Amino acid sequence: MNDFDAIVIGAGNGGLTAAVALQRGGAKTLLLERHNIPGGCATSFVRGEFEFEVALHQLSGLGTEDKPFIMRKLFGELGVLDKVEFVQEGELYRMVVLNEFDITLPASWVGIRTTLIENFPAEEKNILAFMTLCEQVTLESFMGVPQARKMNSAEMLNKNCKNFVEYGLRDAKSVLDEFFENEHLKTLLAAYWCYLGMPPKDINFSDLAVMLYAYGVFKPWHVKGGSQALSSALLESFLDAGGEVRFNCSVDKILTEKSSDKPAVKGVRTEFGETIACDHIISNASTVVTFTELLDTPILPAGISQDFKSRDLGTSAFCIYLGLDCTPAELGIKNASTFISNTTDENLMHETMSTMNPPVATMLTCYNVDDPSFAPPGKTQISLLCLQYGSVWEDIPVEKYAETKYEFAQHLINQAEQIFPGIQAHIEEVEVATPLTMMRYLNTPGGAIYGFKQNPEDNLLFRERYDQVNGLHIAGSWQGMGGFQPTYMVGAATAKAIVKKVNAKKAAQQDQVEMANV
Amino acid sequence: MSNSTNILESIKGYQEGLARKSEREKTGSDFTEQKGKTAHEIAKLHPKRLQLKVSDIFDDTASTKTFRFKSMNGVLPPFQAGQYINLYVNIDGVETARPYAISSCPTKRDYYDLTVKLVDGGFVTNYLLNHVDQGQLFSATSPMGTFYHNPLFHGDKLVFLAGGSGGAPARSMIESVLNRGLNMEFHLIYGNSYESDVIFADTFRELAAQHKNVHLTEVISRPTEGYSGLTGHLNAKLIADAVGGVSDKTFYVCGPTPFNEFCESQLKSLGVENKRIRIECNGPPKQPSCLENWPQVVSEQDEVMVTVQGRGEFKAKVGEPLLNSLERNGYRVENACRSGECSLCRVKVIEGEVFNPPEAHLRKSDKDFGWVHSCVAFPTTDIKILY
């Protein structure tokens, strides 16, 4: 008799969601977290009078109360909808390329169209065609493609998903080039590449189309109390359902036994040497740590080595959390999300991510524009972020780490000051996180924040779910895409499949008991 | 996905993607070289535990000793002057810990000095000062805390208001400025009760005499007859007289809690902005019942029952921080600052009430869902907790 039906390693978005869905689905679940708080990336910390949001910039897929979308439904199923308050951002984003252009897109599909046409009247026809394509590709990728795959019908795919077949897996840059002449317009529309970490030439058009359409129609959101509030609500829901959690408890080993074709999990060993038995393990740790360190098999399971060889390490981030003693209005900040760049050249931005050179692109997020409660009265909470690969920080001697961190932070502040002068003079609290900070708190190689590098062929269409060890499941950005919505969704999907198995086993055991009693 | 009937092959670019993937499978790394690397990189800056050995003990004053700690497990991690480590001790079977500011300079990489002043009735300081010998082993957290010079907004005119043991981080900060050759002005205003009990008195005087950018103002609150220096408390006038104008200066305040609160009020009366006042936290409140919002129906001496879900229960004094009574009863809780800030000791209160003083830097969602920082939480009714 096992101690638990399922053990979840890591209380990040994927792990938490999986744990809640498992426990609510009837699987006796233990959640183990090495830190003292649930959330992983989705967390906050307090400095002085400020509680800083760590990672959530724009929550996608929620939809409004009137027109709810997939995430609102999921949060309802997870029992957290009445435990959190969402705050809608009024604008999609402002993009400023210094000395080139400065345009703000509203968070409305119609509003985006109007704004684009106002700014680029010569491209009106192209804008209309492009936005129609984004809408079609999104709808097809959410409905037509999964249906056709389910039916295994190429005919359905070709008939119902014409746009996806034609454009979905082309690189975003070439599609933008096909539709538009104006370089500013292309750069403006490609701004969300940073949520994938790869420049437009290296992402599938479908990913860009889905982000633009989904944020435009279902709006970008923040959470009151930060993403930590959502993480804590998920934990609360897990505990309410009878789940068991241990914080400050990391897993040393995933224990397996030989079974017919491949190894099968039998439990975990914690850092305190305790062995806990279970049928299923959901790892929210990186696949790299899961398979190369946690798993007790002497070599990588068949298939993993091949999969890993086709992967690269994804990007990390450098982030500054600022508490300012002035209002957003005093700094001229009018919307939550601003992309600031020195150049329209996304390839240069991406190349810079592998260096210690001053970043050429910075994202500024101001959390209390849409809701003043994100900062004390009269004050402001902002974050400045640039993507950066972690390896460049691993080479810095430890005794130079602190000063290097502040020097690099100064570059980001300088860039933000070009649009919003006065930020630095108003700092009341500040904390700087480097890729090594991400590594420390996420335990990911290179401090990766989105999992493996999102190469076009890392799209889930090219990948199977990891199933090389019976009972071992992966839930998190390393299974598919990074970011909040994808990791919540993969956690829920992983749990759904396991709940089915757990309940089938229980039914079978019940049958046996009844048979024995006959 | 080598299945030839794969319908996705109809999608333009799909076959090319598959080809790229197989190409990479031939040349890529399987990440086995990453094994252990993440943990190693993290441990270079933030090892979870340090194994330390007392290499030397220096008698500073009648009430104070400096313990020099060397590492038993590799190089000590770097720190920023002003940070602390949380030192674990086992006293008569009770596993507990206390945070102490590092008094040595960050440029000295082969040891940390902890300077410990005896606290009246202090459980741990009494043990350290009276029962610890050279060669003794301890474990500790790596350096932590946010009380240090931050070049992004602190500027280069630093004033340190130290009271008693607050001289420890002050020494680290001064030596850091000097040893790193930073172009900064550093003014230490050092308040102590007795002339005979001033930690690092000679060191500070020498540094101030030798370096133009180091200034020292000594203040004694209980002077002996005939003492000719400044006396009294670090009030607004004394501070203003010592440092001149306050604008552009950043003030660091470290001492006993009443000292910190008094200094803060004086700095504010001088018009110093919030952002230019950095105060080091200093343990749980000694008399929580004197604080605002304390429930008047209970006194600190009352006893309540603490139930740890699924593990057991014990009686605790209302006036003792929950973390301390947990430790006293054999429950291990992660902790570091023991002052309400770092949040490592979070526990969830499932039933009953606790008093959270202003020291508790709780998150909004902690308040919503009943999580408290046990190091500064006082159970005012029978409680049931989970952690």
Nearest to B38 among A406, A413, A444 (CB): A444
Q: Given strand B346-351, what is the order of strands in its sheet?
A: B312-317, B303-308, B383-386, B346-351, B371-373
- So what's the pLDDT on residue B74? 87
- So what's the pLDDT on residue A1? 57
C-alpha A6: how far from chain center: 24
Helix, strand, coil abundance in chain A, percent, nearest 5 = 45, 20, 35
**Distance, CA of A164 to CA of A145 (rounded, Å):** 8
- So what's the pLDDT on residue B1? 42
User: For B318-373, how does the pLDDT look when each residue is reduced to its tens digit (9 = 90+)?
Assistant: 999 999 999 999 999 999 999 999 999 999 999 999 999 999 999 999 999 999 99
| Short-list A303, A309, A306, CA closest to A263 | A303
A433: pLDDT confidence band, cut at 50, 70 and 90? very high
| Short-list A38, A105, A30, CA closest to A339 | A105
**Distance, CA of B292 to CA of B290 (rounded, Å):** 7
| Short-list A483, A460, A480, A491, CA closest to A215 | A483
**Does residue A61 sit at the B interface (CB-CB below 8 Å)?**
no
Chain B residue at shortest CA distance from A423: B153
Mean pLDDT of B63-74: 95
A251: pLDDT confidence band, cut at 50, 70 and 90? very high
Contacts of B387 in chain A (CB under 8 A): 247
- So what's the pLDDT on residue B2? 42
Q: How many CB atoms lie within 10 A of CB A166?
A: 17
- So what's the pLDDT on residue B3? 45
Strand partners, A244: A30
Contacts of residue B247, defined as CB under 8 A and 6 or more positions apart, other chains included, come to: none
User: For B215-253, how does the pLDDT look when each residue is reduced to its tens digit (9 = 90+)?
Assistant: 999 999 999 999 999 999 999 999 999 999 999 999 999
pLDDT exceeding 90 applies to what percent of chain A? 93
Mean pLDDT of A72-100: 97
**Distance, CA of A187 to CA of B252 (rounded, Å):** 46
Look over chain B and give the mean of its residue pLDDT values, rounded to a whole number. Answer: 95
**Distance, CA of B309 to CA of B325 (rounded, Å):** 16
Residue of A309, A391, A408 to mutate, testing the B interface (most B Cβ within 10 Å of its Cβ): A309
Look over chain A and give the mean of its residue pLDDT values, rounded to a whole number. Answer: 96
**Does residue A65 sit at the B interface (CB-CB below 8 Å)?**
no
Chain A residue at shortest CA distance from B360: A46
- So what's the pLDDT on residue A516? 81
Chain A residue at shortest CA distance from B150: A406
C-alpha B139: how far from chain center: 16
Contact B178, B151 (CB under 8 A): no
Contact B217, B197 (CB under 8 A): no
Token pair listed for A36: 């003292």
What DSSP assignment string belongs to A239-273? Answer: HHTT-EEESS--EEEEEEE--SSS-EEEEEEETTS
Give the HSE-up count for residue A16: Cα atoms under 13 Å, Cβ half-sphere: 31
Residue B178, pLDDT above cutoff 80: yes
The radius of gyration of chain A from alpha carbons, rounded to an integer in Å, stands at 23
Contact B101, B67 (CB under 8 A): no
Contact A510, A504 (CB under 8 A): no
A511: pLDDT confidence band, cut at 50, 70 and 90? confident
Q: Are strands B250-254 and B230-231 parallel, antiparallel or unpaired?
A: unpaired
Inspect the interface and report whether the beta carbons of B77 and A427 lie closer than 8 Å.
no
Inspect the interface and report whether the beta carbons of B28 and A157 lie closer than 8 Å.
no
Inspect the interface and report whether the beta carbons of B22 and A310 lie closer than 8 Å.
yes
| Short-list B277, B291, B192, CA closest to B236 | B277
Inspect the interface and report whether the beta carbons of B36 and A306 lie closer than 8 Å.
no
Phi, psi of A374 (to 5 degrees): -75, -5
Nearest to A401 among B9, B78, B343 (CB): B78
Q: Which residues of B126-163 are buried (b: 16+ CB within 10 A; e: fewer)?
A: ebbbeebeeeeebbbbbbbbbbbbbbbbbebbbbbbbb
| Short-list A231, A220, A195, CA closest to A60 | A220
Lookup result for tokens 């990189």? B41
Chain B residue at shortest CA distance from A205: B13
Q: How many CB atoms lie within 10 A of CB B72?
A: 12
**Does residue A395 sit at the B interface (CB-CB below 8 Å)?**
no
Given phi > 0 = left and psi -120 to 50 = alpha, else beta, which region is A242?
left
Inspect the interface and report whether the beta carbons of A232 and B29 lie closer than 8 Å.
no
| Short-list B330, B332, B372, CA closest to B351 | B372
Helices A109-119 and A205-218: crossing angle, nearest 10°?
110
Classified as helix, coil or strand, A367 is coil
Token pair listed for B257: 């809690």
User: For A395-426, how does the pLDDT look when each residue is reduced to its tens digit (9 = 90+)?
Assistant: 999 999 999 999 999 999 999 999 999 999 99
A334: pLDDT confidence band, cut at 50, 70 and 90? very high
Inspect the interface and report whether the beta carbons of A406 and B41 lie closer than 8 Å.
no
Mean pLDDT of A151-165: 95
Mean pLDDT of A339-359: 97
Token pair listed for B361: 């830097």
Chain B residue at shortest CA distance from A457: B17
Residue of B15, B21, B31, B345 to mutate, testing the A interface (most A Cβ within 10 Å of its Cβ): B31
Contact B187, B156 (CB under 8 A): no
Residue B5, pLDDT above cutoff 80: no
Q: Please give the sequence-ordered ranges of beta strands (E in DSSP) within A176-243, or none if there are none.
A: 221-223
Q: Please give the sequence-ordered ranges of beta strands (E in DSSP) within chain B, or none if there are none.
A: 50-61, 64-71, 84-91, 94-101, 112-117, 137-140, 157-163, 185-192, 214-220, 230-231, 250-254, 277-279, 303-308, 312-317, 346-351, 354-355, 371-373, 378-379, 383-386
| Amino acid symbol at B153 | F
**Distance, CA of A475 to CA of B8 (rounded, Å):** 24
**Distance, CA of A123 to CA of A116 (rounded, Å):** 9
User: For A200-210, how does the pLDDT look when each residue is reduced to its tens digit (9 = 90+)?
Assistant: 999 999 999 99
Nearest to A166 among B12, B37, B106 (CB): B12
Inspect the interface and report whether the beta carbons of A399 and B78 lie closer than 8 Å.
yes
Contacts of A232 in chain B (CB under 8 A): 363, 365-366, 368-369, 371
| Amino acid symbol at A80 | V
**Distance, CA of B59 to CA of B66 (rounded, Å):** 6
**Distance, CA of B132 to CA of B89 (rounded, Å):** 11
User: For B88-98, how does the pLDDT look when each residue is reduced to its tens digit (9 = 90+)?
Assistant: 999 999 999 99
Lookup result for tokens 């993937």? B21
| Amino acid symbol at A6 | A
B206: pLDDT confidence band, cut at 50, 70 and 90? very high
A473: pLDDT confidence band, cut at 50, 70 and 90? very high
Q: How many CB atoms lie within 10 A of CB A213?
A: 22
Nearest to B30 among A309, A432, A444 (CB): A309
